[in-house]
Amino acid sequence: MPAATPDFRRWVIYEMFVRNHTSAGTLRAAAADLPRIRDIGVDAVWLMPVHPIGKRKRKGRCGSPYAVADYTAVHPELGTLDDLAAFVARAHELGLRVLLDVVFNHTSPDSILARSHPEWFHRDAKDRPASRHAAWSDVVDLRHPHDGLTEHLIAALRQWSNLGVDGFRCDVASLVPVEFWRQARAAVAAKRPDTVWLAESVHPAFVRAMRQQGHLAQADAELYSAFDLTYDYDIHHVWRECVLGRAALAEYEAALAHQAATLPADASKLRFVENHDQPRLAALVTQPGRRRCWTALAAFLPGAFLIYGGQEIGKPHLPSLFERDPIVWPDREPLMQACLTSLSRVKKDPATAGTFELVADTNHFLARWLGADGVLTGVFNVRGGRGGIEVPLPDGVHENLLGGEPLRVKSGHTFLRTTPVVVRTS
C-alpha cells in the first residue's frame, strides 16, 4: 500500500480516461498499463468517471462521462465492480494510489436520482430540472443542501472508499457548498483518514458569472477547509496568454506570486499544461523543445503535477469526451515520456521541501528550490530566444538532471536553446 501521508509538493498524478486509454477501453486493459505509469514516477492515478452514462440529451454516441446516471455502479462497457476492485488492488501492489472522479454538481437528465428524487434538482422557469450553465445541456444540476441528497452522496463515497479507492477528484467543486465537502470528508475519514481530496476549482470569470446570476460559486481559498489540492485555474488564463505569446512572462511570474500570497500558507495547487478539458500543449506550441520547457516549468513549480493520459506522446490530438477515441500508443518510448520521467525524479528531490524562488525575463524562467542540503536550479527557455540569462551558478559545465544538453555557465551567464535544464548544487 502507498505511504499514509502524501507530500503534495512531490506528487505526480496521472489522469486516465479509461474509455480511451486503450483500444479495448476497459478497466482490465487499463490495469495492464499501470507498471509503465508507475515507472514514470507517478504517485496516484486519477480515474475519470467510470459510472454509467445517461442517454437522454447525450452528446455524441457515447456521451460524456460527466453525465452520470448512477453514482454507485460501473459502466458495463468499462467492466464490473470486481474489475474496478482489481484495478485498485493492482495499483496498490505497485505503490500507487487511486483517485476516483465524483460528479456531485449534476447528473444526467435520466439519472436514477432525477427519476426518483426530482425534488433534489434545480428547476427552470417551467419547473423542470435544469442546469445552471446553458452550455452543459446534457446534465441537470443537483440542489444542495438537502439532507436526503447529502446522505445518498456520502453513502456512495463510502462505497468506493470501502472498495479501496484512496481519494476523490471532485468535479466542479466550487459550485457545491463547502459545508457539504467538509461533511463528506469527515464521514469518509472515520474509516479512511488518509483519503485525498482534489477539487476542480473553477476560473475566476466563471465564479463571477455564476455569482452575478445569484448562484453559489466559491473561490479557491474557500475550498481549502475541505480539500488538499485545488486546480490551477485561478491563474490559468495568464499562463495561456504567455504560452501563446500574447503576454510577457513577467505577468505569469506576478500571477504565481499573487496566488502564493492570497492562499493559505500550506495550500497545494495542481499544476498542469493540459487536461481533459484543455487543449493538448502540442496544439498550442508547435516546437517540441518549447513544449518540454513549459512542461518542465509546470512540474518544477510548488504543488502537485498532473500528467493527462497520452501527454507522453507529445501529439496535439485531445481524445473526445463524447466518442470512442482511443489513444494510439507508439511502439517505443517517446521523448516526452522520458522527459516526464526525469521531471518526476526531480520533483521528489529533498530540495523541494525548501524555499521556492522564480524570476522571468523576456524568454526564460529561472526557478530555484533552496533546500537544507542542496539547491535545485531550473532554467526554462520557453520562448526559444537566443539570448542568454544570468544564473546564480559557478562557471563550468553542470549536469542536467533532465538529461541531454548540460548547462554551460560562463561569467555567470548561460546560453540555451530550448532544452529544459535542472541542476543540483550543494
Is 354 a member of any domain?
Answer: no
Judge whether 20 and 327 are in contact, CB under 8 Å.
yes
- Known catalytic residues are 171, 200
Is 326 a member of any domain?
Answer: yes
User: What's the confidence (pLDDT) of residue 4?
Assistant: 55
pTM comes to 0.97
**Residue 122 sits in the same domain as residue 155:** yes
Domain closes at, from 348, 376, 404: 348
**Residue 343 sits in the same domain as residue 370:** no
**Residue 259 sits in the same domain as residue 231:** yes
**Residue 148 sits in the same domain as residue 210:** yes
pLDDT tens for each residue of 217-228: 999 999 999 999
**Residue 396 sits in the same domain as residue 320:** no
**Residue 172 sits in the same domain as residue 208:** yes
Judge whether 43 and 97 are in contact, CB under 8 Å.
yes
Judge whether 301 and 232 are in contact, CB under 8 Å.
no
Domain closes at, from 304, 324, 348: 348
User: What's the confidence (pLDDT) of residue 1?
Assistant: 43
CATH code assigned at 417? 2.60.40.1180
For the chain, what is the domain count?
Answer: 2
**Residue 164 sits in the same domain as residue 301:** yes
Is 64 a member of any domain?
Answer: yes
**Residue 27 sits in the same domain as residue 160:** yes
**Residue 228 sits in the same domain as residue 296:** yes
User: What's the confidence (pLDDT) of residue 316?
Assistant: 97
Is 369 a member of any domain?
Answer: yes
User: What's the confidence (pLDDT) of residue 331?
Assistant: 87
pLDDT tens for each residue of 254-278: 999 999 999 999 999 999 999 999 9
Q: Note if the bond before 330 is cis, omega within 30 degrees.
A: no
Is 170 a member of any domain?
Answer: yes
**Residue 216 sits in the same domain as residue 318:** yes
User: What's the confidence (pLDDT) of residue 146?
Assistant: 94
Q: How far is CA 66 from CA 140, 357, 402, in A?
A: 11, 38, 36
User: What's the confidence (pLDDT) of residue 405?
Assistant: 82
**Residue 209 sits in the same domain as residue 140:** yes
Is 355 a member of any domain?
Answer: no
Domain closes at, from 348, 379, 403: 348
Is 13 a member of any domain?
Answer: yes
Residue range of the domain that includes 407: 364-425
CATH code assigned at 249? 3.20.20.80
Residues in the chain where the model's pLDDT stays below 50:
1-3
Is 226 a member of any domain?
Answer: yes
**Residue 190 sits in the same domain as residue 132:** yes
